[in-house]
Amino acid sequence: MNSKILFVDDEANVLNGFQRSLRKDFALDIALGGEPALRMMEEHGPYAIIVSDMQMPGMNGLELLAKVETLAPDTVRMMLTGNADQKTAVDAVNRGHIFRFMTKPCKSELLLEMLKAGLKQYGLITAERELLEKTLHGSIKALTDILSMFDPQSFSRAQQLREYMSACARSFNIARPWELEMAAMLSPIGLVTIPPDVLKKKHSNQNLSSLENDLLAHVPEIGFTLLSNIPRLEAVANIVRYQAKNYDGSGYPKDSVAGEDIPIGARILRVVADLILIENHDLTKIKALSKMQQCPGRYDPKVLDFVAAAFDVFVPIESNPNSSVRPVSFRELRAGQVLMSDLVTRDGMKIIMAGAPVTSVLLAKLRNFASLSGIQEPILVSG
């Protein structure tokens, strides 16, 4: 079991004291402040326990432990501080969700006891997660095996959906990417309730009766019902439920949920599923996404941009003849503008063609090129 502990404080002598007194009993690292602690987590983590001081310049202990909860939810969080007022303690529990709150000076025996309790808690957390994951994966495998035997064509499409959703999850920096991948694999699970002759007509693009169309429209709801009974799959079940829901609230299910109230995973799945469907009609991604942009209200516009960026596709926008074209530096480039000239690195490599919209995702990608190779300036933009 992982038993690494990270101590965070803004006083070097305090950290050195921890190292001297505890290094015989624990695998101990130290960080001089919040930002260095986050770097230590990235470069040397995961840690079983993080013990943080409260008052530190730049990022205080509450802010650090709140970030730790997001970045490494299994890590046990503790606070050891000289600022022991009631508000600090309450905020630490509520915002940082800490396991133990200790005050300075802390006796060595008590600190040793708290760290051992923290390691035991970490062991319980990871053991429970491992057990749940094994149970979960076993359940999912059983469901996908049933789907693959019942409807191989839908299972094959779900595999492709999973690959696309995985790429999007990495690009969007989704906290739990497995939820998106699992939702993609299980999105057609409701089809197991559809009569085989109806499925055959669907796959061969034959005309369906109103009753048959109604049966297929309820497939996401059926999938939701099947999955919502499995522990830890609540978010996945909701993605499956709203996979056919349009951004403007139309589509299925017929409820009041619309816009950003639709789960983000469902909004991504809506875009990705239609992208694959249109691509399968021998269209390139850029043409498929261009076609999808002509359907206002169906997709989340931001998700369309993010999906395009995930596959390094930037859909050209026709320029408005009334909008002015002006030169800007790379630092002046802003989301919402349109490139009116090709974007080229200083060593001559063309990155993005003229006509591409500038999005926040594109800017993030361009910053990497700018830091490595530089960008030729000025850049012509409109908007």
At 334, which CATH number? 3.90.105
Residues 13 and 54 in one domain: yes
- Choosing from 81, 107, 125, the residue where a domain stops is 125
Q: Is 145 a domain residue? A: no
CA dist 62 and 95 (Å) reads: 7
Handedness of CA 149, 153, 154, 157 (dihedral sign): positive
CA dist 294 and 317 (Å) reads: 11
More confident call, 255 vs 149: 255
- Choosing from 58, 90, 125, the residue where a domain stops is 125
Residues 61 and 95 in one domain: yes
Which pLDDT tens digit goes with each residue over 334-364?
877 888 887 787 777 777 767 777 777 677 7
Range with the largest mean pLDDT of 154-158, 178-182, 322-326: 178-182
Residue 319 has pLDDT above 60, yes or no: no
Q: Is 91 a domain residue? A: yes
Residues 296 and 155 in one domain: yes
CA dist 74 and 133 (Å) reads: 14
Q: Is 138 a domain residue? A: no
Residue 245 has pLDDT above 90, yes or no: yes
Average pLDDT over residues 43-69: 90
Q: Is 315 a domain residue? A: no
Residues 218 and 304 in one domain: yes
Confidence band (pLDDT; 50, 70, 90) for 126?
confident
Q: What is the CATH number of the domain that holds 49?
A: 3.40.50.2300
Residues 249 and 367 in one domain: no
Q: Is 178 a domain residue? A: yes
Residues 201 and 305 in one domain: yes
Question: What rounded mean pLDDT belongs to the chain?
Answer: 83
Confidence band (pLDDT; 50, 70, 90) for 249?
very high
| Number of neighbours of residue 203 by Cβ within 10 angstroms | 12
Share of the chain above pLDDT 70, in %: 88
Which pLDDT tens digit goes with each residue over 285-317?
888 888 888 888 999 988 888 888 777 765 555
Residue 106: what pLDDT?
Answer: 83
More confident call, 63 vs 347: 63
Average pLDDT over residues 65-83: 87
Average pLDDT over residues 9-29: 90
CA dist 224 and 240 (Å) reads: 6
Residue 22 has pLDDT above 80, yes or no: yes
Residues 303 and 236 in one domain: yes
Residues 261 and 185 in one domain: yes
pTM: 0.57
Average pLDDT over residues 314-326: 61
Residue 227 has pLDDT above 70, yes or no: yes
Residue 11: what pLDDT?
Answer: 92
Residues 33 and 91 in one domain: yes
Total domains present in the chain: 3
Residues 243 and 179 in one domain: yes
Range with the largest mean pLDDT of 148-157, 251-260, 308-317: 251-260
Residue 158: what pLDDT?
Answer: 84
Structural domain containing residue 335: 325-382
Residue 320: what pLDDT?
Answer: 54
Residues 35 and 12 in one domain: yes
Residues 156 and 302 in one domain: yes
**Are 151 and 199 contacting, i.e. CB atoms less than 8 angstroms apart?**
yes
